[in-house]
Structure 1
Amino acid sequence: MTDQPDGVTPPQDAEMERPVRVREPAFNLPAGLVGILAVLVAIHAVRTYLLPQWIDDELIFNFAFLPARYAHSLADQSLAWIWSPITYSFLHGSWEHLIFNGFWMVAFGAPVIRRIGMIRLAIFWCLSAVAAVALHIAFHWGDMAVVVGASGVVAGLMGAAARFVFSPSGRISRQFAHLNRRLTIGEALANRSVVVFAGIWFLTNFLIGLGVFAFGGAASIAWEAHIGGFLFGFFLFGLFDPRN
């Protein structure tokens, strides 16, 4: 043992005294959401840069949603009426359309995925996509204009997120929003933040329907599908949310 003079503290290891810093990632996204975005980008990239136009036209005809399938003899010529109410959500009209949907999917999809997981999300995606075009076709029965894009699903994610991301104090918990208690429908409708958020969202979509806004890289926007998706997510999210 080495003797130390009285009152002298032996030097400490510098590494032991150095504070440990934990850096938060710049983009803290669920792996499942990253995978979804990668699939959407890959599909659009293949369509844009690799497929001949005539093949892409066939792909759109067979996998985009077309209201006319359900009013004319097109249903007898193709079975696309079965799967197209879901597959249309994986196709986009332009890069701007895809980026716009991706931005909002990151904002509202992340807390929903953290809360319900990928298996429930897969079911939610399919049913919200169907709900979105169900309302669209109610307004556009027999229309020959195709519908593509994940906007209806994104709207569903917004509606679902509105049930839990807003705290009772009216503030959004960004890091741990998925841990918030799910508000009942009555509580959500009485929450000022939820009402303001939903009000602005509906107003924006009504203005889109009136032609005031035109963005996202699409010539026409299926705003009715947005509303169908949002209503599905808001009112039926409890069916997908874990009981605990």
Structure 2
Amino acid sequence: MTDEPEAPGAPAANGEQVSERRHEPAFNLPGGLVVILAVLVVIHAARTYLLPTLIDNELVFNFAFLPARYDHPLAEQSLAWLWSPVTYSFLHGSWEHLIFNGFWMVAFGAPVVRRIGMARLAVFWCLSAAAAVALHLALHWGEMTVVVGASGVVSGLMGAAARFAFSPSGRISRQFAHLNRRLTVVEALSNRSVLVFAGIWFLTNFMIGLGVFAFGGAGAIAWEAHIGGFLFGFLLFDLFDPRK
């Protein structure tokens, strides 16, 4: 934390000038992002402490993403196939799952929100969530597996941030990363900091897929959805970014 220059205050009664020193807040998140995190917490708390198990199971069945839905005629089932590619991102399997996603959402979501605003973020959230499970669906067609969590969206935010958050020195400024120039895809792939970041990220997810990092079992983590979300954010961020 660094101090900003002193700003003059109102004159005191004795005619002297009162100076105030302003400080950068230690915890400063966009309001919209705080609302999203609060909604995720409220949803999971309600499922954990208020809803009976049978009702919660019904909720998960209707709002989580299931690849098996798309192996059956859509006309013979409810419309869950239509909204579940987005609604699954608001459900989480445990508090640890939610906290983990929330941590990375704070880290990478804040600069993206500051840059594109909440209206664009809403569209980005829906499309990145759908893109994430689209890749998962392609590799797990017809399987009766349940996918929940905002990990695909968080991965999309990471991919988007990789297009602008790194300064020429490779560092990320917590408060001012959103003001950087957006790199083209070619420029980003030529940036050492971006390559190191993306390389570590992809390596970690591939190791999860191979079972090296099996948090609750490799099958418990939809790592393919992470990759789908990251590629969406990285390759298509131009469509959401108003800055030249």
Q: TM-score, normalised by structure 2?
A: 0.91
**Partner Cα separation in structure 2 for residue 128 and residue 181 of structure 1:** 22
3-state SS of 1:168 partner: coil
3-state SS of 2:220 partner: coil
**Partner Cα separation in structure 2 for residue 184 and residue 221 of structure 1:** 31
**Partner Cα separation in structure 1 for residue 217 and residue 179 of structure 2:** 35
2:162·2:194 contact (CA, 8 Å) conserved in 1? yes
Q: 1:56-105: per-residue Cα shift (whole Å, max 9, x none)?
A: 00000000000000013576222100000000000000000000000000
Give the equivalent residue in structure 2 for 1:9: none
Q: Give the C-alpha shift of residue 16 in structure 1.
A: 3.4
Going from structure 1 to structure 2, the CA distance change for 1:73 and 1:53 (only over 3 Å counts) comes to: farther
Q: 1:188-232: per-residue Cα shift (whole Å, max 9, x none)?
A: 000000000000000000011111113389970000000000000
Give the equivalent residue in structure 1 for 2:4: none
Going from structure 1 to structure 2, the CA distance change for 1:216 and 1:156 (only over 3 Å counts) comes to: farther
For these two proteins, the number of residue pairs brought into alignment is: 233
Q: Give the C-alpha shift of residue 18 in structure 1.
A: 4.7
> 5+ unaligned residues in a row in structure 1: which ranges?
1-11
Going from structure 1 to structure 2, the CA distance change for 1:136 and 1:183 (only over 3 Å counts) comes to: same
Q: CA RMSD in A?
A: 1.9
Give the equivalent residue in structure 2 for 1:28: 28
**Partner Cα separation in structure 1 for residue 74 and residue 199 of structure 2:** 38
> 5+ unaligned residues in a row in structure 2: which ranges?
1-11
**Partner Cα separation in structure 1 for residue 41 and residue 74 of structure 2:** 30
**Partner Cα separation in structure 2 for residue 173 and residue 107 of structure 1:** 11
1:212 aligns with 2:205: no
Q: Give the C-alpha shift of residue 15 in structure 1.
A: 8.1
**Partner Cα separation in structure 2 for residue 125 and residue 13 of structure 1:** 54
Q: 1:120-168: per-residue Cα shift (whole Å, max 9, x none)?
A: 0000000000000000011100110110000000000000000000112
**Partner Cα separation in structure 1 for residue 70 and residue 21 of structure 2:** 59
3-state SS of 2:16 partner: helix
1:97 aligns with 2:104: no
Q: Give the C-alpha shift of residue 180 in structure 1.
A: 0.3
Q: Give the C-alpha shift of residue 19 in structure 1.
A: 3.4
Give the equivalent residue in structure 2 for 1:5: none
Amino acid at match of 1:143: E
1:233 aligns with 2:233: yes
Q: Choose between structure 1 and 2 for higher RCO, CA contacts under 8 A separated by at least 6 residues.
A: 1
Give the equivalent residue in structure 2 for 1:4: none
Give the equivalent residue in structure 1 for 2:185: 185
Identity rate, percent: 81
3-state SS of 1:19 partner: strand
3-state SS of 2:24 partner: coil
Q: TM-score, normalised by structure 1?
A: 0.91
Largest Rg, 1 or 2: 1
Stretches of 4+ aligned residues off by more than 4 angstroms: 12-15, 216-219
